[in-house]
Chain A
């Protein structure tokens, strides 16, 4: 247990010493929030929409860039190689990444809801704690997905390509940037399969419809399942050294990590 706590404490210190972490976790989403709020924040519903957009941007950024790209970078720079000669397993490193991302991001969520309430009179969610737990689960699930991408990417170039392949579709098709009501036909079906849909939907239900965490159990379940499947795959495929390459076919493990979302997509489409 002491190695888990030591890695989490160290990761936190390292993260807070990096200007890029502060910028991308706090400043950039806040600039984004205030800019969009200035254009669209005419009523509390629209502000809630901007908040969801900002949270989704942060969750996806933290997952794919904060966890995924950072893990590839540590491997490419031979940092993980130093850990390899010690008795620890990959578990504390992966758990450390997920927990650190959550500890860094949660204050931003609280700040964002507070600012939206104070400056734009957005009502605070009825189930505030439930919403924070839900966003936390989403953040950890998407960090697990980011770590799966890091596990299957052989180098930074491959990692960047894979991350971009996920990041933009998830940002655009999950309902965070383009409202889900605009999706028709095939686009609607695709929307049902996009992982970020369940983050945006859950937040919508909890922020605009006053629903609690348990009412959204399906969304919660899919995020928890993603965390476990993603955690398992990234543990299984974890590589300490850049010289250890993974076969091209191993990239299909990413599809397995997306299984909960695929099941939900099928279910939603058939409904």
Chain B
């Protein structure tokens, strides 16, 4: 497999009249990677992704996708990528299988509609009109259309927005399958759990700028926020006899004297020391939880906003 990045973006800018939607961002996406663009509405995610899909011209900077310039080699690029748009529609009286066959005819290579219908669990609905499909089925069809040319690079723009949790999980499974097939996926989302679960790397984008980028774990570790350790013991603890565990920043004991909360900058080390101490004291452990900062915490810390602002 080639080691050249599938997507290379340098100082990318997009301006709509006086509004600067994208303000000089840089990133690259490697082959087989699931790359997430995470940010609130209006952050510049869709503008960025649509420039890379060849749907909008950029105002400044450079971008190459699969070796093509999205603005100058649009048709060649579109033939090679799969796109699942945020808001799209099909004619009400178009049948599911017909849609796959029609869109398949637009590409130099396409995979059979039967294969896609089975894969996206739409076989039973192959003869159904688009207007009769549920929201989840429409989204599965949108994903099937994105796969119709068997692309190695997919752009999924908020593929689960507005769907109920069960359908969202189904879509997550599908994206995980795409990942296991070594396809490259660029995903925009404002669902934290989606980015944490699916993405190899995430760029947090706010007001047209990338404010942080890395694996979800790296971003969590960069956070100044501390991890929280919750412990429940079988016997009550003496609040006055609690030691100062290494790296522990704050310790508190609940009124029941059995629930202990410790904040730490190095939770693994602190937890190890707590376990050792409990063992030495002959105390039995009933429950233990370690909560690291989530991407949501990191996002709030970096931008001062909630993701769904």
Name A residues whose Cβ lies closer than 8 Å to a Cβ of B. 2-3, 5-7, 10, 13-14, 17-18, 74, 77-79, 81-89
Contact = CB atoms under 8 A, between A and B. Distances in A.
B78 interface: yes
Interface of B: 53, 55, 75-76, 78-79, 83, 85, 87-91, 93-94, 98, 101-103, 105-108, 145
B79 A82 contact: no
Contact of B106 (A3, A13, A17): A3
A56 to B, nearest CB: 29
Nearest to B148: A86
Given A81-B85, A81-B88, A14 B106 contact: no
The SS class assigned to the A binding surface is helix
Contacts of B90: 79, 82
Top-7 shortest CB links A-B:
A6-B105, A85-B83, A17-B93, A86-B106, A87-B79, A87-B78, A78-B89
Q: Which of A10, A81, A89 has the most CB of B within 10 A?
A: A10
B105 A3 contact: yes
B89 A79 contact: yes
Given A82-B89, A87-B75, A10 B102 contact: yes
A17 B91 CA distance: 11
A145 B246 CA distance: 79
Contacts of A6: 101-102, 105-106
A17 B98 CA distance: 14
A84 B55 contact: yes
B93 A18 contact: yes
B105 A78 contact: no
15 contacts: A3-B105, A5-B105, A6-B102, A7-B102, A14-B93, A78-B87, A78-B88, A79-B88, A81-B88, A81-B89, A82-B89, A85-B53, A87-B78, A87-B106, A89-B75
Given A77-B89, A82-B103, A86-B106, 8 more contacts: A3-B106, A6-B101, A14-B91, A14-B93, A79-B91, A81-B88, A83-B106, A84-B55
B89 to A, nearest CB: 4
Nearest to B103: A86
Contacts of A84: 55
Contacts of A88: 106
Nearest to A11: B91
A87 B75 CA distance: 5
Nearest to A79: B89
A85 B78 contact: yes
Contacts of A3: 105-106
A14 B92 CA distance: 9
B141 to A, nearest CB: 10
Nearest to A1: B105
A165 B90 CA distance: 30
B91 A81 contact: no
Nearest to A2: B105
A88 B94 CA distance: 19
Contacts of B88: 78-79, 81-82
B83 A10 contact: no
Q: Which of A77, A78, A82, A89 has the most CB of B within 10 A?
A: A82
Contact of A14 (B76, B79, B94, B145): B94
A31 B96 CA distance: 36
Nearest to A15: B93
Contacts of B79: 87
Contacts of A2: 105
A25 to B, nearest CB: 16
